[in-house]
Copies of this chain bind each other. A is one copy, B any other.
Amino acid sequence: MKSHLDRLRALLAEISDLGRARALLAWDERTQMPRAGAESRAELVATIARVRHERLTSDEVGELLERAGEEITAFPYDSLEASLVRVTRREWEKARRVPAELRAEMTRTASIAEHAWAKAREESDFRAFLPHLERNVELRRRYAGCFEGFEGFEHPYDPLLDDFEPGMTTPEIAAILGALREGVRRLVAAVADGGIAVDDSCLYGRFPLDAQEQLARRVIAELPLERDAWRLDPTVHPFATAVSPADIRITTRFDEGYLGTLLWTVIHEAGHGIYENGMPRELWRSPLASPSSLGFHESQSRLWENWVGRSRPYLEHLLPRLRELFGEAFAAADPEALYRAANKVEPSLIRVEADPVTYNLHIALRLELELRIFDGGLELADLPEAWNALTSEYLGIDVPDDARGVLQDVHWAAGAFGYFPTYSLGNVIAGQIWDAALADLPELDDQMGRGELEPLRDWLRERLYRHGNKFMPRELVERVVGGPVDPGPYLRQLSERAHEVYGI
């Protein structure tokens, strides 16, 4: 006879499959779907989400959790069995709070809003997008309202943040990212005041799209992703998704006039893929076969993009490949010039085009606005004005139109509030992990210079990836780096790099 734990695992495997199917639907919608399919797709996604939610929130899962919990009292805290019950119970308790219809409506509304956003952005027409945004925010407020009295939730923004960063509270994220923001603002001011000029012209020019695609495929093939376990497609807003740990969908966009877009987007998204690809086999088809949080997920995309992909040794390794594919554009550039170009710091308008340093200021302004929307009484109609004021304050730039301002990101169209801060949190965690990796891998620089990235991947698998989603981010950061989340190492590393590049 099957144990309750076995029955629970079978049910959770189905729920996992439904989640993976939904991931495929989302990937397809953004990379493959004929335009006329949009309307039906919204219904389809809503149905899969609803069916998954119904199963997850069923009385049956609740009862199996109860019984399985009794079966596994002797299992250690970090065992697959104990973790499965613990993690699922928290998800079940959260999911039980949300009526299936509300969740379906959020999904359906967001899907329609995304298409409206794409059109509104094209026409820089915030008014056309506003009703969709209002609907999204209203639904998220109702969503947050479902969690009254939930353990650890105090601030109205907590339930939104928790979906992406479980256990992180609003005061905590505000403190961590506040310290980061101030440190970054000081650094950016120092660069502007006293930094020597950085010439990044080698990254600008005419880079034929087919050569860029070749570069992308070559770069990914040389990253430590398993063979035949990934694909690459163009899209508007790049992302990576795992239809399974062995089926990684990387997307990118191409800019014919600037090679940096493609290059670091591809490494970034592949970094997400390397984490998903590293989920240990015994966790597959369970809720544990995924990164612990978006902050951790971003820590890996950013670690691979910025700590590896913008490092001097990796770029030294890459330069001959750039010369081979793009000829004269890189004939004159030496590794040092490429390294400096890759690490130029300059405030700019568009988050996804920002350099890795000022990127954090884009996040700071979004977090600030999300807090004002959900707890500060900011009217959505006034959002463009507030956006523009903060852009001026943090980045020193005037926003010329809403397409390049408040309409630039898909997240709010997709209903994802509480998501943005995880990008910067990822930087912070990556900085802590990098210090730990350097301590354990004294040859790391040399290895990166030879394009040997497996040792780093293997270290990350052993230290981080193998845990999957067993632990809350708070526990995991403690296990991986031996302390709490701390922006110190990242700010120190930024300063060190600014010293190398800008002489400050």
Within the complex, what minimum Cβ distance (angstroms) separates A311 from chain B? 28
Residue contact B34 to A229, C-beta cutoff 8 Å: yes
**Interface residues in A30-47 (C-beta closer than 8 Å to B):** 32-37, 39-41, 43-44, 47
Residue contact A18 to B228, C-beta cutoff 8 Å: no
Within the complex, what minimum Cβ distance (angstroms) separates A472 from chain B? 26
Given contacts A28-B24, A32-B231, contact A244 B18 (CB under 8 A): no
Q: Mark A229-258, 1 if CB is under 8 A from B, else 0.
A: 111000000000001111110000000000
Within the complex, what minimum Cβ distance (angstroms) separates A457 from chain B? 16
- Chain B residue, CB-CB nearest to A228: B35
6 A-B pairs besides A17-B47, A17-B48, A28-B28 with CB distance below 8 A are A20-B40, A24-B25, A33-B243, A34-B228, A34-B247, A36-B226
B residues near A248, Cβ cutoff 8 Å = 34
B residues near A18, Cβ cutoff 8 Å = 47-48, 51
B residues near A41, Cβ cutoff 8 Å = 243-244, 247
Partner of A36, one of B34, B51, B227: B227
Task: List residues of A whose CB falls within 8 A of some B CB.
Answer: 13-14, 17-18, 20-21, 24-25, 28, 32-37, 39-41, 43-44, 47-48, 50-51, 226-231, 243-248, 284-285
Residue contact B37 to A229, C-beta cutoff 8 Å: yes
Residue contact B43 to A247, C-beta cutoff 8 Å: no
Residue contact B228 to A36, C-beta cutoff 8 Å: yes
Within the complex, what minimum Cβ distance (angstroms) separates A353 from chain B? 28
Within the complex, what minimum Cβ distance (angstroms) separates A23 from chain B? 10
21 CB < 8 A contacts A-B: A13-B43, A17-B47, A18-B47, A20-B44, A21-B25, A21-B47, A24-B28, A32-B32, A33-B247, A34-B228, A34-B246, A34-B248, A36-B226, A36-B227, A36-B247, A37-B243, A40-B243, A40-B284, A40-B285, A41-B247, A44-B244
Measured in the bound complex, the distance between the Cα atoms of B44 and A47 in whole Å is 16
Within the complex, what minimum Cβ distance (angstroms) separates A111 from chain B? 13
- Chain B residue, CB-CB nearest to A17: B47
Within the complex, what minimum Cβ distance (angstroms) separates A230 from chain B? 6
Residue contact B14 to A51, C-beta cutoff 8 Å: yes
Measured in the bound complex, the distance between the Cα atoms of B229 and A185 in whole Å is 48
Given contacts A51-B18, A244-B41, A247-B41, contact A34 B284 (CB under 8 A): no
The listed residue with most B CB atoms (<10 A of its CB), out of A20, A32, A39, A247, is A247
B residues near A51, Cβ cutoff 8 Å = 14, 18, 51
B residues near A48, Cβ cutoff 8 Å = 17-18, 21
B residues near A228, Cβ cutoff 8 Å = 34-36
Measured in the bound complex, the distance between the Cα atoms of B285 and A395 in whole Å is 49
